[in-house]
Structure 1
Amino acid sequence: MDLDKKQCHYCGKSILGRVDKKFCDDYCRNSHNNQRRIGDSPDVRNIMAYLKINRNILESILVDGVEKVKVPKERLQRLGYYFKYHTHTYINWKGNVYTYSFDYGFVELEDGWILVVRDLGDNSSKTANRN
């Protein structure tokens, strides 16, 4: 592709620089992405916000590289966790249901306790049940 003929995806100006460059500057890149997101319904934006909040809460509980930790369910409630929203569930071979917000999840234990876990990405032997 000839560099002179590359055009910005947002404003149409000529682009100079890397071969894979799509926008002439940060303003056009940001404007393009913002305009694309406006198409999402308010419900979708709200649910994505709740999912991100949930993930951040679970991530904040697992600190210093810890893979899993047992906490009271009340702690998640106090931190503002939205139990209604999650990305997927996973049922292990024992029948325990893990509820995930992206790569962080939890399983409910007895007496109001929750085991918070981080998915390490080895899903080769797992089957996710989408809810």
Structure 2
Amino acid sequence: MKCKICSKRVLGRSDKLFCSIKCKNYYHVNLRKATALVVKELDTILHRNRSILLEILGKKKAQCKIERVVLEKKKFRFKYHTHQNINNQGKTYHYVYDFAWMEFSNDEILVVRRPLNIKK
């Protein structure tokens, strides 16, 4: 078997992937770097989406309807969300952390804030 990094022959156990600690460390450090870059980019998009929803609802309102065009103008990215939930009427709520949106009609979006259940 050959090392995943330098292609030298690997000695020892049959399931060993690297010829040395140096090659093993190199592999894992670069794997973490690549993962961190992708996660940072996605996290930035999710936080921006949440900020847009917070700006629309403000600090007091629990929900409101808004035209889809308004969200599009603010560069809201509809395909990025943390999770989703289908209610008992079959409508899908797309969540960004503690905020959610649902397509109310072709032109309107219902934006809601989910109360946080933080235990102290």
> TM class, shorter-chain normalised?
0.5 to 0.7
Residue identity matched to 1:67 = A
Normalising by structure 1, report the TM-score. Answer: 0.60
State yes or no: 1:46 paired with 2:45: no
Query: Which consecutive unaligned segments of at least 5 residues does structure 1 have?
Result: 1-36, 123-131
Normalising by structure 2, report the TM-score. Answer: 0.66
State yes or no: 1:79 paired with 2:74: yes
Which digits, 9 at most, give the CA deviation of each residue in 1:51-83, with x for residues without a partner? 000000001101141000100011111111111
Which digits, 9 at most, give the CA deviation of each residue in 1:71-118, with x for residues without a partner? 001111111111121000011111110001100110001131000000
Residue identity matched to 2:76 = Y
For 1:55 and 1:103, the matched residues in 2 are separated by 8
Q: Number of residue pairs matched?
A: 86
State yes or no: 1:65 paired with 2:60: yes
Say which of 46, 50, 53 aligns to 1:55.
50
Report the equivalent of 1:30: none
Deviation at 1:44, TM superposition (A): 1.1
In the superposition, relative to structure 1, how do residues 51 and 64 fare at CA in structure 2: closer, same or farther (>3 Å)? closer
Say which of 95, 103, 107 aligns to 2:98.
103
Report the equivalent of 1:31: none
Over the aligned positions, Cα root-mean-square deviation in angstroms equals 1.8
Moved over 6 A (4+): none
Residue identity matched to 1:110 = S
For 1:111 and 1:93, the matched residues in 2 are separated by 20
Secondary structure, counterpart of 1:41 in structure 2: helix
* Greater Cα radius of gyration, structure 1 or 2: 2
Secondary structure, counterpart of 2:81 in structure 1: coil
Percent of residue pairs bearing the same amino acid type: 34
